[in-house]
């Protein structure tokens, strides 16, 4: 059985290949991948630097907490604002 015109054999409609075929999305995906790789490298480097400078697991956990805390504290705010929920007393 032959695939429909414009479709390769073995590709599914709506699969990754069809999404990456769009140049705009392909650029977005590539830049997001590079950005995420940079975030991981920065986080790892910071942890190794703090561990090297302090030699303390407590210092390392403080650095990790300082990096993660703003995300955990501020993440619920946009969701709360977008739903229009009244502020809790």
Please check the confidence at residue 75 and state whether its pLDDT lies above 90.
no
With beta carbons less than 8 A apart as the criterion, state whether 67 and 46 touch: yes
With beta carbons less than 8 A apart as the criterion, state whether 50 and 59 touch: yes
pLDDT of residue 46: 92
- Give the mean model confidence (pLDDT) for residues 5-15: 61
Global pTM reads 0.58
- Return the C-alpha torsion angle 23, 26, 28, 33, nearest 10: -160
CA distances from 33 to 26, 29, 70 (A): 10, 6, 23
pLDDT of residue 10: 54
- Give the pLDDT confidence of 28-61 residue by residue, as tens digits: 999 999 999 999 999 999 999 999 999 999 999 9
């Amino acid at each position: 059985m032959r695939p429909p015109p414009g479709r390769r054999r073995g590709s599914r409609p709506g699969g990754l290949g069809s999404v990456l075929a769009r140049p705009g999305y392909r650029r977005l995906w590539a830049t997001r991948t590079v950005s995420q790789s940079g975030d991981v490298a920065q986080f790892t480097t910071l942890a190794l630097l703090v561990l090297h400078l302090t030699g303390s697991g407590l210092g390392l956990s403080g650095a990790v907490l300082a990096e993660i805390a703003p995300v955990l504290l501020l993440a619920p705010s946009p969701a709360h604002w977008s739903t229009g929920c009244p502020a809790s007393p």
